[in-house]
Amino acid sequence: MNDRIFEINDLLHEFVRMDKNYGYLTEEQIYNYLAYDKAGSNTSYELKPVWDTLIKQFDKTKSNTTLNKGLEGWLTLRSKNHADYKKSIKLYINLPYDKLEKASIKIFKFLDKKKINHISKISNNIRNDGLIIRVNDANEAREIINFVNKKIGKDARRTNPFTFREGIVGIGYDGNSSYNKFISFVISEYIKDRKDKNMIDSVSYGDFNSYVIELYKYYFEQNHINEFRSTYIFSDDLKRIKSSDFYFDEKELLLNYENMFKVLIASLYENNNVNDIIGYIIDLQGDNYSKEKMNSYSNISTKENEIDVVQVLNDYIKYAIKEYGFNQAYSQLEAFMYDTVEDVPDKYRFITSKNNFRDSFKQTDMANKIRYVIKDLKEYMRSFIKTDLEELTLLLNEYIDYVGYEQAIKELSEFQVSREYSVLNPKYRERFANVDMANNMRFITENNVELYINEYLKNQKVSINQTK
């Protein structure tokens, strides 16, 4: 475990540096860093030639392994009586490009020979979780781990240290969700929390371990389960699963995430060994335990009893952009989100009391909801501008009428290229900046300013000579 502690510390400090560089660290950036070895440096190797070799090797009537090529960039391999996703132990193996083919053949021949029921997959790109094996039986999981460490260990690389690791094999649990995406979500929340509380210097393995326990208790033991339901990771996963053939109802998915929290906590506990982790994963999937836990989710609110958080936020953004302009609306909402005054409703001073916005924000704990539901606030707010082109078009046409044909051609053409508001007539600079016209004008003019101006004047039945 000591090596993992050092690796976790190093990664957490790297994420703090990334957050400082980017200004805002997203769950996707963390996930890509963990999955692809420093933000995707190994994605250049495509593995379809390896897929083809495996298909030739195992796609035979005598083999216990069947293959399904190309499922969202993965080659799926499964035994004829394959493992159950919902009750599986998930094993991760990280192999370099030049070792993957031979190592994969060894591993799947071993599974065939032992008649181990599994469902597995290999990515089309080199990833730190590029070979995944799911099994239901604890003894079979141990057999695979021992075989891989003995026969493949010298060829493999270390897996993500936030998963439990035995030798070079990572061990996790996620049903049909993504354990690594879940871990990335928790790390993202941790960095945000410590940053908001001016505790970024406390980031470490021990502090992270304590935070994960606190976050689990907050959601699942202190009656905030509805708040977890509103997080983007849970909401997106629920939509994905409901639209797929592999179906969890909402309570099953909540149980899945509660179990992932517990497995992560157990994985971070320094004194646990491989048998502790595997046994714990098996215990969490017991039928009696599962039924009891799902029955405990009786406090899930119905939509009729909840304030529609997203609708309140959307209505506020539309109001604020129209009332204050884009830049000021964004600055106020960002200030509201990241205000660090604790236990004082001071941050709500940034939100107007008109249309009951301030009270609605207070009732819904909106600052946290924005963080959970929206990955990039500025881009989210820009989407409201892009969808309201009619108002932008009126502003652009007003500019043309004001400065006249020749100046409009000259200034707007230069503006489209330079994106500098200083080239515009001073009267309109702030108004154009407030609606992010530098990004949005291309949607109106379709990147041909002169043609747009001529068509506009033609449609207005105004000759060039009649304009100012």
> How do residues 347-380 score in pLDDT, each as one tens digit?
677 788 787 787 778 776 677 667 666 767 777 8
Quick count: other Cβ atoms within 10 Å of Cβ 149? Answer: 15
How high is the pLDDT of residue 166?
Answer: 94
Q: Residue 301: how many CA atoms within 13 Å on its side-chain side? A: 14
Q: Residue 87 carries which DSSP code?
A: G
Cβ–Cβ under 8 Å, residues 421 and 433: yes
Buried b (16+ CB within 10 A) or exposed e, 56-86: ebbeeeebbbebeeeeeebbbbbbeebbebe
In terms of domains, do 88 and 152 share one? yes
Q: For residue 20, which amino acid is it? A: K
In terms of domains, do 131 and 227 share one? no
d(CA 297, CA 252): 10
Domain C-terminal end among 240, 266, 296: 296
Query: For the whole model, what pTM was predicted?
Result: 0.65
Cβ–Cβ under 8 Å, residues 74 and 123: yes
In terms of domains, do 190 and 226 share one? yes
Whether residue 348 is contained in a domain is answered as yes
Domain C-terminal end among 296, 328, 347: 296
Low-confidence ranges of the chain (pLDDT < 50): 39-44, 61, 302-306, 340-345, 387, 462-468
How high is the pLDDT of residue 69?
Answer: 55
Residue 92, domain extent: 48-172
How high is the pLDDT of residue 104?
Answer: 85
Domains: count for the chain: 4
d(CA 181, CA 121): 17
At 376 the three-state DSSP class reads: coil
How high is the pLDDT of residue 73?
Answer: 61
How high is the pLDDT of residue 42?
Answer: 46
Whether residue 40 is contained in a domain is answered as no
